[in-house]
Amino acid sequence: MEKIIFCILLLITNTHAMATESSIGQSNRISLTLFVLIICITLCITWWASKKTQSTSDFYAAGGKISGFQNGLAITGDALSAGAFLGLTALVFNSGFDGLIYAIGYTTGLPIVVFLMASRLRKLGKYTFTDVVCSKLKGTPIRIFSAMASLIIVSFYLIAQMVGAGQLIQLLFGINYNVAIMLVGSLMVLYVVFGGMMATTWVQIIKAILMLGIGVVISVLVMARFDFSFIQLLQASTAIHPDQQNILIPQALAKDPVSGISLAIALMLGTAGLPHVLMRFFTVPDAKAARTSVLWSTIFMNSFYAMIFIIGFGALALLNMHPEYFDGKGGLIGGSNTAALHLSHLLGGDIMFGAVSAIAFSTILAVVAGLTLSGASAISHDIYSALYKKGDLSSASELKIVRISTIVLGVFAVFLGIIFKGQNVAYMISLAFSIACSSTFPVLILSIYWKKLTSIGAVAGGGIGLLSSLLFTIMGPSIWVKVFGFSQALFPIDPPAIVTVPLAFIVCIVVSLLTQPKNLPIHIEANKS
């Protein structure tokens, strides 16, 4: 373990030599220094966690020893990705109030949906989403579907994070894209292989604390520029934005209400179907702690998204008075996603910029580690141990298999990150949410609350939801028009959740009713006996 950490640190140190001048900020030396510091801290956590990871329960669920407050921070760390910070700030910077729609979807989805499931997940499940479903439904097909659905969702989400990681690190630190991808892949494999859920949880906790802290600092600095008056901040923002009349009015929903409602369904229900989020509820000691973790994560996430409102409008009001942050075409240097980074540099110089850059990188490490652990668990626990070995696998052997799975998945993720360079990251994330709300969520919620659900019905409904969400997304505007170049989409609703979610539920229910087991009357059974 110590030798591997030394090799990773040597690779990180050499990034100083590989780095070129970043297009953002005046110097990247502070960014790289803080970047190395954060990695050193997380590697120390991994070393500490490796000493405590001795069993499959430790590896998959941190031994169930995480408190509700700690798990709430870890869920927050899962949710507050670099896309949430940089992407949502950019949306507010460009579109005003419409940019907050995504934040509203995330924060309303978590308490509404997870409060229905958190305690039941903790009571029914052992380590994974598949455990919960298979505690109510028996048979090989449902286990195969659950495991494969988890892997597909994790893969799309992981590709998006890896591509985003490479682009972000290349932009912030001037490191070659392929080197950045390999660095992220090496670190995420190291966290999971040696530290398991314990290391992943504490990396997410530290990342959440850093993200919340930097959000508070930037928000306070922005408000100080406007005498801590929201009215002055909004007046300055509306005076600069080209669409002054509508910046504070939600417009997207009015223009395309069907797609707007469909997006809300995908964001709210998709969150409850993400396997790496569901795994978090098996790390706490009991159902009460599971509910407590939801409460804390809701508080932390709502607080952060409230700060995004200030940061986004602050960037709009302040950056437009500083032309040095814009290129010759009038756009932000590095693209619109860099609004929060430019704002941090404007408010606090290279030190603040370096801190924000390093924290943005830590968000990627936390998210990819959680995704990798979820994918490796599906391979080792749900497929290899439960299906291939029929549950007859020792704890030591399963730990060996999950670590091998992690390495293979890490190499696969690096390969996909390089292959998919330049692809639409936002699309792949939305596709992961769309698949989750159309496949794993209907099966999960029905398996918990509807006693008549059958294995055949769950596989049919979940499978239809998964395939239809993939097909309709490909035929929709994001792929058929923007990627393939056709003039008109074959399926106009993007994302297709408003169609695929009811479809999955209907198929689950209808097929289950048609495949109910035929129980013989008690007196007949008695006569036969």
> Average pLDDT of 307-317?
90
Range in 23-37, 262-276, 341-355, 475-489 the model is least confident about: 23-37
Report DSSP letters for 196-231, one per residue. Answer: HHHHHHHHHHHHHHHHHHHHHHHHHHHHHHTTT-HH
Domains of the chain: 2-379+406-425 (1.20.1730.10)
> Average pLDDT of 285-298?
84
Taking the C-alpha atoms of residue 469 and residue 480, their distance in angstroms, rounded to an integer, is 14
> 515 and 457 in contact (C-beta within 8 Å)?
yes
Q: Residue 220: which pLDDT band, with cuts at 50, 70 and 90?
A: very high
> 297 and 76 in contact (C-beta within 8 Å)?
yes
Taking the C-alpha atoms of residue 153 and residue 155, their distance in angstroms, rounded to an integer, is 5
pTM score of the predicted model: 0.81
> 160 and 84 in contact (C-beta within 8 Å)?
no
pLDDT digits (tens, 9 = 90+) for 234-281: 888 888 766 656 777 777 666 778 888 888 888 888 877 888 777 887
> 423 and 478 in contact (C-beta within 8 Å)?
no
pLDDT digits (tens, 9 = 90+) for 156-205: 888 877 877 777 777 666 677 888 888 888 887 887 887 788 888 888 89
Taking the C-alpha atoms of residue 26 and residue 342, their distance in angstroms, rounded to an integer, is 11
Rounded to the nearest integer, the mean pLDDT of the chain is 79
> 471 and 434 in contact (C-beta within 8 Å)?
no
Using CA atoms, how far residue 432 sits from 83, 99, 160, 426, 456, in Å, is 14, 20, 9, 10, 24
Q: Residue 4: which pLDDT band, with cuts at 50, 70 and 90?
A: low
